[in-house]
């Protein structure tokens, strides 16, 4: 039976910090935009209280999904303690049910596996409804009471960079939320890189301090001047460990490890040492002749077809020693494609088929350069040697690499017209960018089809674009999801106009069936107490992208403020309202109307809706 430790919660307290302190459990870090295009999101919890807390069954959700509950993670990449009881001063890492161990090595190096909990959710296969890269709200509850929440309204800075909470004793508002500065992009299961003060529970340090009073026992060592007499030493059973320490020099028995030349016995375990008679086969070095003849004896051995002994009569087979595999296929001259098949790796995780054209900047605008981004959706690195790009209106191909260039699993490579100009206009880009060998064919703004070819010239992926797909100079077109079939493209919703080297701004795991508008903190009270000071709005569109317009009116229909002004957004978009008008003046408590208008170019549809938002009076 799972034992639950119920903590007192002051229900009448409206202060967010009060709730966090009452429960002890806080959301300390959120990674919504992992390196992987599908897995790797996590929510980190920290117990700043002085009692262990059982998290089994606690609801954890976001602005669109409130049905998930916390449970123990027992997958193949489980790490840390078993169960769901979080000790004081310890971290819990809540991961997707399909977590693949991306952070285990980092946690082992910097965290405390002895106290870490690895948790997940039950209800579906994603944290929340798939955490929003550019904005979302995560909450945890207990007994229908919100214990803590963590909101963000923009990207933390790209793939693999998390939002951290510098102060656990303060609400996770805009002033207490920072992108991780850790070299790995996040700090799962250990101290935040932006922490402005030490963790509230320095519990592990306190036991170290009592060990220091053991040092006053060292003044008892002056009593050990009797020890130079050394007869008293045998009388001191209190420190038999110290005599055992001289026994530790006996540990040079460990040089028995040189006895581990038994490892050469492992080669004895191999069939090769068991077959010393085989060295009697010096003919084996002469086996280079084997590609010609052993195959032929194998053929008479394999077939019960005595009719084909005529095949050894084919002297043409010795004429082809350069292609030993082919003499096995002389009867099949119609299958010359078989030598081409080995060009595709057997491991699908490393196949060129996993590399796709993921983003295209065909109309960069003045003083910028064209570029094409490739993405490897497989798990293993793929060698790009011999791969090339070709435009549909040209026969000439442009080689990407003649050798020495690979694209890592779930990684990116950018091919740019001008690498120097690309880096100048993308100073934060730290990935791989190369120029095509032999020059660059300008991408037509009116539209084209771009083909990615493998080393034998076989098309492995194609991308078609036209002027209507992105009318704005300086904005790329990008895949909504590299796994969608047929592919779905749209203009980048990133404020910088593109996302080279990181997850696309339009990325969603699925496209919603209809328009929906969700609210967090409605009613809300913008009174400056750092609790529910803003209303967070999440809009889902039944299309890969759209144009959004949002305005606030009073209850009598008078215009107050424009929140979103004809902005290109992804299928999911998050924004906030802080209760002020167009001039930044705070509005009185009462009901207001949020008018939302969505233009969906791919569906040629315009939809609009009105929603009631309430500013609550402060107590």
DSSP state of 437: B
CB-count exposure of residue 215 (10 Å: 0-12, 13-18, 19+)? exposed
Is the CB of residue 176 less than 8 Å from the CB of residue 165?
Answer: yes
Residues 6+ apart with CB under 8 A from 147: 9, 19, 20, 23, 25, 58, 139, 140, 141
* Residues paired with 560 in a beta bridge: none
Whether the pLDDT of residue 450 is over 80: the answer is yes
Q: What is the pTM of this model?
A: 0.46
How wide is the angle at C-alpha 531 spanned by C-alphas 526 and 533, nearest 5°?
25
Contact between residue 338 and residue 329 where contact means Cβ atoms under 8 Å apart: yes
Segment 277-285 mean pLDDT? 43
Q: What digits encode the pLDDT tens for the residues 27-81?
A: 999 998 887 655 789 999 999 988 899 999 999 988 777 778 999 998 888 877 8
| pLDDT score, position 486 | 85
pLDDT for the residue 222: 45
Q: How far is residue 438's CA from residue 235's CA, in Å, rounded to a whole number?
A: 86
From the CB of residue 483, how many other CB atoms can be counted at a distance below 10 Å? 12
- The first and second tokens of residue 55, run together, are 């998290």
3-state secondary structure at position 159? coil
Does pLDDT of 133 surpass 90? no
Beta strand pairing call for 432-435 and 447-453: unpaired
For 185-193, what is the mean pLDDT? 92
Q: How far apart are CA 366 and CA 477, in angstroms?
A: 17
Residue among 122, 80, 97 nearest 38 (CA): 97
Spell out a b/e string for 348-358, using b for 16 or more CB atoms within 10 Å of the CB, else e. eebbbbbbbbb
Q: Name the phi and psi angles at 192, rounded to 5.
A: -60, 145
Label each residue of 450-500 as H, E or C: EEEECCCCCEEEEEEEEHHHCCCCCCCEEECCCCCCCCCEEECCCCCCCCC
The answer to whether the CB of 400 falls within 8 A of the CB of 435 is no
Nearest by Cα to 585 from 526, 531, 523, 520: 526
pLDDT exceeds 60 at position 294:
no
For 497-532, give the DSSP string. Answer: S--TTS--TT--SS--SS-EEEEESSSB--SSSSSS
CA–CA dist 286, 320 (Å, integer):
17
Q: CA-based diameter of the chain, in Å? A: 101
Given the structure tokens 């004429």, which residue do they identify? Answer: 319
Q: Return the percentage of the chain with pLDDT > 90, whole number.
A: 33
Tokens 């946690």 locate to: 107
Nearest to 423 by CA among 491, 371, 472: 371
Is a pLDDT exceeding 90 seen at residue 515? no
pLDDT at 350: 66
Residue 249 pLDDT level (bands cut at 50, 70, 90)? very low
* Average per-residue pLDDT for the chain: 75
Q: Is 26 helix (H, G, I), strand (E, B) or coil?
A: strand
Burial (CB count within 10 angstroms: exposed 0-12, middle 13-18, buried 19+), residue 385: middle
Read out DSSP for 239-273? -THHHHHHHGGGGGGGGGGGGTTHHHHHHHHSHHH
Give 6's strand partners: none
Q: What is the mean pLDDT of residues 571-587?
A: 91
Task: Specify the pLDDT at position 495.
Answer: 78
Identify which has the larger pLDDT, 532 or 344. 532
List, for residues 467-477, the tens digit of each pLDDT value: 777 767 899 99
Q: Is the pLDDT of residue 263 over 80?
A: no
Distance separating alpha carbons of residues 577 and 226, to the nearest angstrom:
78
Mean pLDDT, to the nearest integer, of 166-182? 89
CA 337 to chain centre: 38
Rounded mean pLDDT, 567-574:
84
Q: Which of 36-45, 387-396, 595-604 has the highest mean pLDDT?
A: 595-604
Strand-pairing partners, residue 447, are 466
Coil/strand/helix, residue 392:
coil
- For the record, the structure tokens of 479 come out as 């895949």
Please state, for a pLDDT cut of 70, what percent of the chain lies above it.
Answer: 70
Does position 102 have pLDDT exceeding 70, yes or no? yes
Over residues 224-233, the pLDDT tens digits come to 444 444 444 4
Q: Flag whether pLDDT at 15 surpasses 60.
A: no
CB 370 within 8 A of CB 465: no
Between residues 173 and 350, the one the model is more confident about = 173
When pLDDT is averaged across residues 103-117 and rounded to a whole number, the result is 83
Q: What is d(CA 618, CA 598) in angstroms, rounded to the nearest whole number?
A: 33
d(C-alpha 26, C-alpha 46), whole Å: 5
CA angle 286, 288, 290 (to 5 degrees): 90
Read off the tokens for 354: 């996993």
Contact indicator for 21, 47 with CB cutoff of 8 Å: no
Residue 412 has pLDDT above 70, yes or no: yes
**Domains along the sequence of the chain with CATH:** 16-179 (2.60.40.1260), 348-491 (2.60.40.1260), 516-615 (2.60.40.4070)
Q: Using the predicted structure, report yes or no on whether residue 270 has a pLDDT greater than 70.
A: no
* Residue 226 vs residue 392, higher pLDDT: 392
Which range has highest mean pLDDT (435-444, 536-545, 555-564)?
555-564
What are the helix and strand counts (H, E) for the chain? 9, 29
Q: Check: CB of residue 88 under 8 Å from CB of residue 118.
A: no
């Amino acid at each position: 039976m799972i034992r639950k430790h119920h903590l007192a919660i002051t229900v009448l307290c409206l202060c967010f910090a009060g709730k966090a302190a009452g429960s002890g459990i806080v959301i300390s870090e959120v990674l919504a935009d992992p390196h992987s295009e599908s897995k790797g999101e996590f929510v980190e919890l920290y117990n700043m209280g002085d009692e262990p807390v059982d998290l089994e069954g606690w609801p954890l959700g976001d602005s669109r999904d409130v049905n998930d509950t916390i449970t123990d993670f027992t997958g193949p990449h489980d790490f840390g303690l078993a169960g769901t009881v979080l000790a004081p001063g310890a971290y819990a890492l809540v991961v997707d049910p399909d977590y693949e161990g991306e952070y285990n090595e980092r946690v082992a190096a910097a965290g405390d596996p002895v106290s870490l909990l690895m948790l997940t959710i039950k209800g579906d296969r994603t944290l929340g409804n798939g955490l929003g890269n550019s904005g979302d709200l995560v909450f945890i509850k207990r007994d229908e009471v919100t214990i803590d929440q963590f909101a963000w309204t923009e990207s933390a800075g790209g793939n693999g960079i998390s939002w951290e909470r510098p102060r656990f004793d303060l609400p996770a508002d805009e002033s207490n939320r920072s992108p991780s500065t850790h070299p790995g992009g996040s700090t799962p299961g250990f101290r935040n890189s932006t922490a402005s003060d030490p963790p509230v529970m320095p519990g592990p340090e306190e036991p170290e301090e009592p060990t220091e009073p053991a040092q006053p026992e060292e003044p008892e060592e002056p009593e050990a001047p009797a020890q130079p007499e050394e007869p008293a030493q045998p009388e001191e059973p209190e420190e038999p460990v110290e005599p055992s320490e001289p026994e530790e020099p006996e540990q040079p028995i460990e040089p028995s490890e040189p006895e581990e030349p038994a490892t050469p016995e492992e080669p004895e375990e191999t069939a090769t040492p068991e077959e010393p008679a085989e060295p009697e086969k010096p003919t084996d070095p002469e086996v280079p002749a084997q590609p010609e003849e052993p195959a032929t004896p194998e053929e008479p051995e394999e077939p019960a077809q005595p009719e084909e002994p005529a095949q050894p009569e084919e002297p043409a087979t010795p004429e082809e020693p350069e292609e030993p595999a082919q003499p096995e296929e002389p009867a099949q001259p119609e299958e010359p494609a078989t030598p081409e098949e080995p060009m595709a790796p057997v491991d699908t995780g490393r196949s060129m088929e996993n590399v796709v054209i993921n983003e295209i900047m065909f109309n960069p605008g003045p003083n910028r350069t064209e570029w094409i981004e490739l993405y490897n959706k497989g798990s293993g690195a793929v060698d790009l040697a011999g791969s090339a790009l070709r435009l549909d209106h040209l026969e000439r191909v442009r080689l990407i690499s003649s050798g020495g260039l690979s694209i890592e699993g779930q990684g990116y490579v950018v091919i740019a017209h001008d690498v120097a100009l690309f880096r100048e206009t993308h100073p934060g880009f730290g990935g791989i960018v190369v120029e095509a060998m032999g020059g660059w064919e300008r991408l037509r703004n009116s539209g084209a089809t771009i083909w990615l070819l493998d080393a034998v010239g076989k098309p492995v992926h194609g991308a078609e674009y036209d002027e209507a797909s992105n009318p704005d100079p300086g904005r790329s077109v990008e895949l909504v999801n590299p796994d969608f079939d047929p592919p779905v493209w749209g203009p980048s919703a990133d404020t910088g106009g593109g996302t080279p080297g990181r997850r696309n701004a339009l990325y969603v795991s699925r496209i919603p069936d209809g328009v929906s508008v969700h609210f967090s903190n409605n009613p809300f009270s913008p009174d400056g107490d750092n609790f529910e000071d803003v209303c967070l709005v999440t809009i889902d569109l039944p299309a890969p992208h759209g144009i959004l317009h949002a305005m606030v009116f009073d209850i009598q229909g008078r215009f107050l403020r424009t929140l979103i002004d004809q902005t290109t957004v992804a299928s999911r978009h998050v924004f906030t309202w802080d209760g002020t008008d167009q001039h930044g003046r705070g509005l009185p408590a009462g009901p207001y109307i949020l008018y939302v208008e969505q233009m969906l170019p791919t569906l040629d549809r315009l939809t609009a809706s009105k929603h009631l938002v309430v500013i609550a009076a402060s107590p």
